[in-house]
Structure 1
């Protein structure tokens, strides 16, 4: 599909009002996306586990209005008005209006909440924009009931990307690939696709315990970080590394090769942060406790041979990844050795999930 496929020709139905509600999860990249071109086009392809527990639930009540010159919406986050969130929604609406021309026809009452604390240091933009896009596509499907599921979900991923790049990987599960790659069928810079190759059963129930090392706001936003890849001395080498790692992952994911998986995933995480440390201006998002946890994981894996590993997003928190059949022993390890490095001892147990779901009623 291309951008042209997402431009609606006409609508056969215009309800006066209605209500939609969707839940969309966060995701954690295995091969990282870092660096982008306008508008929200990735500089390199990526692949991620769709999560399950860490999710955003969004509802929209929509009512037809008389004047159609401007966008009209109210926003409640966790039950309270959040005026500081509204400019991002306004920008998103402006960006997607040509693909959703009904946006100025209605007033929208948007209510959204996260299953994790907003200040937990977990990025909510991916789950938030995915949930909002699912709601808007649900409304469009009411206006155009003939729309098929392929267009529905692909366009939802396309729209979510225009709100937050990685959000396009939160529409489907359990593994989602985003970014054009000549060796990955149907891959696109404009939307995420379910990973098209064989995946061993071990990876379909993988666990992810998110250690909340630092719950404050990052000193450098991801948007700024992405932009610092322009002119970065190691950018082209890094982009090629991502392409190569996606090729290398194909047999690893097919065979259930945990040793190969660990090497690529941990290398990708450290490369992401190496790009931050070597940009100009340079910055460090890891905290001392991030490094303590990494070293503890390495020691534990060497001593026990349990296939546990880590990955990082663009922050200080550590995602501890491990197969479901090792959950009991890894949980003990986390409680006894790692929780002490988390802010207030807090962590969130999550696992690979299936993507966005509609909430009835």
Structure 2
């Protein structure tokens, strides 16, 4: 079993002067949610997610080796420029600086280079889709490409495990955006190879019902959340229902493991919707309490329930820590569901905006 110590670089076997890499990394949507974390981005409970395909971040990392004398203080600092869609984005830099500081012990070579990080999303920024997961995953993949260039004997398995490990230190859920198409993060007794340190691909067979599963994201509110996820996670430390919630997540992950193997869509719907509502129940029962759902979120949920009862089409919703609604459904009912969205749900979306996505395969190297 790998520990944090296993991800510390000892010596680089190769010298690299300059270069560039480009990776894309997708967002993901948790089915069993993690809410609450321990020190060093360790989850309080395990989670499982669908890796998405279309909602992704594309990040280009150009690097040039710094050449200073040994006494230079600037040689011992992180040096980088950050561009968003080709233009300088100073307000993003503190988050990258903090990320580099967190991973310094595992990637000491970062201080040897000046980086130009150029990043963009395939979905609208501030659309209410979590871009920190895809963004940190894409950056971690680029950093690991540099590490692989410095240590060419690195195995593929270690490459992806460390990428997920690093991504987690930038944004917890980012560790689930490295691989696809179903990823588990957090130690669970019934999931072989599961770890608190990085995400792992779901190790059991997946029933045909879940192949090419669809996710249409209804953009209910594209504004900034009143309460950040970081603050929300911290409020679980003294939460009156925390221990029951963590036990419930373990139980639901064991159940969904069987569901993925058997293909039972009714049970899938029950677990996924319960998890979504439980996540928001934790927010509403913390101190201080808060609500991230909007009136239109509830309108959409009720309309989905009515449609499902009337048609028996196996569609369900899930929610992130925000107001937007993810509608999940099998590929074979896609036309029916998209028509339903156009007829009955688009009016609840901000400016009528929604995004069609599907399960994907994780991060991809582009150059």
TM-score, normalization by structure 1: 0.99
- State the match for 2:223 in structure 1: 216
Aligned pair count reads 360
Tell me which residue corresponds to 1:132.
139
> Corresponding residue for 1:231?
238
How many Å separate the matches in 1 of 2:15 and 2:100? 19
- Alpha carbons 1:179, 1:192 under 8 Å: kept: yes
Structure 1, residues 77-125: CA drift from partner, whole Å, max 9, x if none?
1111111110110011011011111100000000000000112111100
2:71 — aligned with what?
none
Q: How far apart are 1:4 and its partner, in Å?
A: 1.8
Which structure 2 residues correspond to residues 135-214 of structure 1 after superposition, within 5 A? 135-214=142-221
Aligned partner of residue 311 in structure 1, secondary structure: strand
Kept after mapping to 2: 8 A contact 1:174/1:204: no
Q: What does residue 15 of structure 2 align with? A: 14
Question: Aligned residue for 1:61?
Answer: 62
Deviation at 1:9, TM superposition (A): 2.1
Aligned to 1:245: 252
Q: How does 1:11-90 map to 2 (within 5 A)?
A: 11-67=12-68, 68-90=75-97
CA RMSD of aligned residues (A): 0.6
Gaps of 5+ in 1: none
Deviations 1:66-86 (A, max 9, x none): 232110000001111111110
TM-score normalized by structure 2? 0.97
Contact 1:27 1:50 in 2 (8 A): yes
Residue 201 of structure 1 and its aligned partner are, at CA, apart by 1.8
Give the unaligned 5+ runs of structure 2. Answer: 69-74
Residue of structure 2 equivalent to 1:97? 104
Q: What SS does the corresponding residue of 1:216 show, helix, strand or coil?
A: coil
Residue in structure 2 matched with residue 299 of structure 1 by the alignment: 306
State the SS of the aligned residue for 1:139.
Answer: helix
Q: C-alpha displacement at 1:35, in angstroms?
A: 0.2
Find the counterpart in structure 1 of residue 280 from structure 2.
273
The C-alpha deviation readout for 1:183-214, integer Å capped at 9, x for no partner, is 21111111000011121122121000000000
Q: Distance in 2 between matches of 1:175 and 1:154?
A: 15
SS where residue 102 of structure 1 aligns?
helix
1:107 aligns with 2:114: yes
Cα shift at 1:357? 0.2
What SS does the aligned partner of 2:13 have?
A: coil
Task: State the alpha-carbon separation in 2 of the partners of residues 184 and 17 from structure 1.
Answer: 41
2:318 aligned partner: 311
